[in-house]
Amino acid sequence: MKPMPQNRSQDIKDPQAREKRRYRPEIDGLRGIAVLAVVLFHANFGSSNGYALQGGYLGVDIFFVISGYLTGALVLAELRRETFSLHVFYIRRARRILPALFLVLIVTFFLALLILVPRPLVDFSRSLVASIFFVANIFFWWRIDYFSEPGELTPLLHLWSLSLEEQFYLLFPPMLLLVWQRARQATLCLMIVATAVSILLAFLNSAVDPAGTFYFLHYRAWQFLLGGILAKMQADHGDSWRPFGAALPVIGLGLVLCSLVLLGSRGAIGMGSITIAVGTSLIILGDRGPAVRLLTWRPLVWIGLISYSLYLWHQPILALGRSYLVNAPGGATLTLLLSASFALAFLSWRYVEQPFRHAAIDGKQLAASAILTVVTLVAAGLSSLLAGGFPARYSQVQQQLLEITPERGIAYVGGRTCTRRAIADACIIGRPGTKPHFAVLGDSHAETLTGPISDLLNINSAAAYVYTDAGCPFIIGVVEQFGTSRCDEYNNDAFRALKANQVSKVIINDRSTAYILGTRFDNQEGGIEPGLPFPVEPVGFKGDDHARIRAVASQLRETLRLLADNNIVVYYVLPVPEVGWNVPRTLLKLIARGDLPLTTSLAVYLKRNERVFDILDGFKNNSKIIPIYPHETFCSAVSGRCATHENDKIYYTDTDHLSREGAEKLVAASAKLIEFQD
C-alpha cells in the first residue's frame, strides 16, 4: 500500500521519525554479534594455541552486508520518492562516521606518543594519515599481513574496513543514481552481475594476491552488493518472503555462528566468507521467530547500538596495551582492556555519536569542523614523520640504543634479496663463478643465514643455490593445514633441482618444531609469541592432531633419509632458540627499566624441540646427516639460559628470526663441522 501524501511529507521532513519507523532491532542485535566476534578475535591474539574464535574476523563481513542493505534501502527509497540527494547522503554519513572516528584518532595519537618508541610511532603516523583519508586498506595491504604479529600491535589496523566502507559509500550511491536514471528496470540485474563479477575476481585473485583480495574494494564489493540486492528485492516484492519469515533467520543465524566458530580461513573469499554472507542475508530477509527474538535481546541490541564506537576503540586499546606490556596479556589483563574498550565505546556513543547525529549543525558547520580536525591530525602525523618519531623523548643513552636496528642476514645477489625466488631464478651465493655443489634449504630462518653462509662459502672457494620458501619447512610431502599452501610443490621442485644440478651438500634450517607441533612459542615466563599457529600436515592427511604430529615427524625423518640415500650430505641446523618476546622491542622496555639481560630458558628449548632431537639422534650412525645445534652457540649449560644479545649486538630481529649478528655467530660456530670441498 502506498503511503498517504501527508505521511510521505511528514516522512521527508522528519528524518528521525522515518528512521524510527524503519528501525529493525534484530539488525542491531546482528551488529552486536559481529562486533563481539571481531573484538574477541583480536583479544585472543598472542595465544600459542590459536584463536578460540577462529572465524571471528568474519564479523566484518556481516557489517559489509548490513551496510550494503541499509545504504541500498535508504537510497532506493529516496530515489522512488524523488528526494535523493548525494549532498544530503554524504552529510548524513559524515555525521555518523566522523565525530567518533576523529575522537579515537586524537586520543590514540596521544597514547601512541606516550607508549610507542620512534620507529613504531613513525609507522603509526603513516597509518594515521592513511586512515584520515580513508585509504587505510591500501596502506595496510602494502605494509602488513592482517593475521601476522605486526598486525596485532598496530593500533589502527582495523580501520582498513572503515576505509573500505567509505569507498563503497563514495561510489555506490552515485552509480545507483546513474543506473536509476538511465536503466531503472535493469537495476537488480546489473547489481547481480556486478556481484558475480566481484566474486569471480576475488576467487581468481585469492591465489595470486591473497592480501589484495582481503583489503581491496573490488574483491569485497560482492558483500556490499549482496546487501543492496536484498534491499532492491524487498523494495520490489514487499513481503513476498513472509511465509518463511520465521524459518529464514533460524537458518541464517546458524550459518553465521558456524562461520564464526568453525570456518575461519584467513582469506577474503572462501567457505567462511560466503557462508556468513548468506547467513546474514537470510536474517535480513526474516522478520520473526526464535532467531529474531534472540537477536532482539536487549543486551545484544545495546552492544549493536554502540558497535561502531566499540569497533573504533577496541583495537587501539588492545594494540597499545600489548605494546606497553613486556609479557603477552593474560586473561585478567585482557578483561581489563576489553572493559576499558566497552566503557569508552559507551561514552563516545552517548556523548559524541548521538549528539552529532541529531544536533542542529548545518552542513557548512560540519564541513568546517571536519576540515579543521583533518588539518590538525594530518599536521600531527606529518610532524611525527618529519621528527622521526620524536626521539628527544628519550635520554641520550636510550637514543643510542634506539639507533641499533637489527636486520636479518639475507644475502643479496644481482641487486635483489634471496627471498621468494622461484627455483629457476634461485640465488647463487658464495664465490662468484664457482659451480655450486651446496644448496641452502628451508624457510625464512634459512634465508636469514644466507648472507653469512655466502661469506663463509666465498672464503672457502665454494658456492650454493638458495632454495628457500618463507613459511615452508623443507619437509617433502607436507602442506599447510590452513590456507592454500604450495610447500609440497616447492619442495618437490627443489629436490628435483638438487639432482639436476648435482648438488652434493645441503644446509637446512627452518622452524620444524613449530610446524610439527602446530603451536607458537610460549617461553613459560610470560613471553608468548603472538599470531596464528602454522601447522603442516602430509598431503591428503586425515586424522586428529596427535596423529598429524606423528605423521609430520615421520615425513621429516623420511626427507632426511631421502637426501642421504641420494648421496647428499645434510648439514641440518636445528631450530634456533625461540624467544617469545619481540627482542628489539622488549630490550628497549627493559633498558628503560634497568632490567637487563633478556634471556630464555634452555630447559624449555630442549623440551619443545625434543622430537627433532630424537629424529636427528636416529641418524647418529649415518655419516651423511650432520646435526648442528644452535643452543650450543646461544645457550649456557651452566646458567641454563639462552642469550638474545651481548654488549651492543642484538641476535634477533623479532621473536624468533636471527639478526645478521646472530646469524654470523651461528654460522661461524658451525663452520668447523662443514666440509667445503666436494
In this predicted structure, what is the pLDDT of residue 21?
A: 45
- pLDDT value, residue 673: 95
The whole-number average pLDDT for the span 653-674 is 95
C-alpha cell at 565: 640415500
Query: At residue 28, does pLDDT exceed 50?
Result: yes
Task: Please check the confidence at residue 174 and state whether its pLDDT lies above 70.
Answer: yes
Are residue 362 and residue 453 in the same domain, yes or no? no
| 317 and 449, same domain (yes or no) | no
> For 142-160, what is the mean pLDDT?
76
Is residue 398 included in any domain, yes or no?
no
Residue 5, pLDDT score: 37
| 386 and 502 both lie in a single domain | no
144 lies in the same domain as 188: yes
Please state the domain count of the chain: 2
- Above pLDDT 70, what percent of the chain? 91
Q: Last residue of a domain, which of 360, 393, 426?
A: 393
Q: Residue 16's pLDDT band (boundaries 50, 70, 90)?
A: very low
Q: Which of 3-17, 215-229, 270-284 is least confident?
A: 3-17
What integer pLDDT is reported at residue 11 of this predicted model? 40
**117 vs 14, higher pLDDT:** 117
- Report the C-alpha gap between 343 and 329 in whole angstroms: 19
pLDDT score for 239: 64
Average pLDDT over residues 86-104: 91
Q: Are 515 and 475 in contact (CB under 8 A)?
A: yes
CA angle 551, 553, 559 (to 5 degrees): 105
Residue ranges making up the domain that contains 523: 412-673
Q: What is the pLDDT of residue 9?
A: 36
pLDDT at 598: 93
Q: How far apart are CA 633 and CA 573, in angstroms?
A: 12
Asked if residue 595 and residue 485 are part of one domain, the reply reads: yes
For 376-429, the pLDDT digits (tens) are 999 999 999 999 888 888 777 667 767 778 899 999 998 889 987 889 999 999
SS3 612: helix
pTM above 0.95, yes or no: no
pLDDT at position 667 is 97
Q: Model confidence at 48, in pLDDT bands (50, 70, 90)?
A: very low
- One domain for residues 389 and 419: no
In terms of DSSP bridges, do strands 569-573 and 505-509 run parallel, antiparallel, or are they unpaired?
Answer: parallel
On whether both 92 and 37 belong to a single domain, the answer is yes
Find which of 254-263, 354-363, 665-674 is predicted with most confidence, using mean pLDDT. Answer: 665-674
Say if residue 83 is in the same domain as residue 203.
yes
**393, 420, 447 — which closes off a domain?**
393
Instruction: Report residue 481's pLDDT band, with 50, 70 and 90 as the boundaries.
Output: confident
**Residue percentage of the chain with pLDDT more than 90:** 62
Q: Do 317 and 439 share a domain, yes or no? A: no
15 pLDDT higher than 50: no
- Tell me, yes or no, whether 301 lies in a domain: yes
pLDDT at residue 144 in the model: 65
What does the pLDDT look like over 612-651, one tens digit per residue? 999 999 999 999 999 999 999 999 999 999 999 987 789 9
**Domain assignment of residue 678, yes or no:** no
Over the chain, what is the mean pLDDT? 88
Confidence of residue 241 (pLDDT cuts 50, 70, 90): low
The predicted structure's pLDDT at residue 530 = 79
pLDDT digits over 101-130, tens only? 999 999 999 999 988 888 889 999 999 999
Residue 405 lies in a domain: no
What pLDDT, in 10s, does the model give residues 505-530? Answer: 999 999 999 999 999 999 999 888 87
Check if the beta carbon of residue 59 is closer than 8 Å to that of residue 307. Answer: no
The per-residue pLDDT for 59 is: 92
Q: Looking at the structure, do residues 473 and 575 belong to the same domain, yes or no?
A: yes
Is the confidence at residue 451, as pLDDT, over 90? yes
CA distances from 30 to 163, 189, 237, 618 (A): 21, 28, 24, 56
pLDDT band of 8, cuts 50, 70, 90? very low
Q: Are 659 and 645 in contact (CB under 8 A)?
A: no
Is it the case that residue 49 has pLDDT exceeding 60?
A: no
Read off the CATH number of the domain in which 477 is found: 3.40.50.1110
Please state the φ and ψ torsions of residue 429, each to the nearest 5 degrees. -110, 165
Give the per-residue pLDDT at 141: 85
131 inside domain: yes
3-state secondary structure 459-501: HCCCEEEEEECCCCCCCCCEEECCCCCCHHHHHHHHHHHHHHC
Q: Do 361 and 426 have their domain in common? A: no
Backbone angles phi, psi at 241, to 5 degrees: -85, 0
Of 393, 428, 445, the residue at which a domain comes to its end is 393
Report yes or no on 567 lying in a domain: yes
Q: Examine the pLDDT at 668 and tell me if it is beyond 80.
A: yes
Q: Would you call 570 helix, strand, or coil by DSSP?
A: strand
Alpha-carbon span 657 to 451, nearest angstrom: 14
Residues 299, 156: one domain? yes
Cα–Cα distance for residue pair 578/586, rounded to 1 Å: 14
Which has the minimum average pLDDT: 252-261, 292-301, 355-364, 562-571?
Answer: 355-364
Exposure string (b/e) for 468-500, b if CB count within 10 Å is 16 or more? bbebbbbbbbbbbbbeebebbebbebbbebbee
402 domain residue, yes or no:
no
Q: Which helix (H) or strand (E) holds 100?
A: helix 86-115
pLDDT at 146: 63
Q: For residue 297, tell me if it sits in a domain.
A: yes
* Poorest-pLDDT segment among 211-215, 331-335, 340-344: 211-215
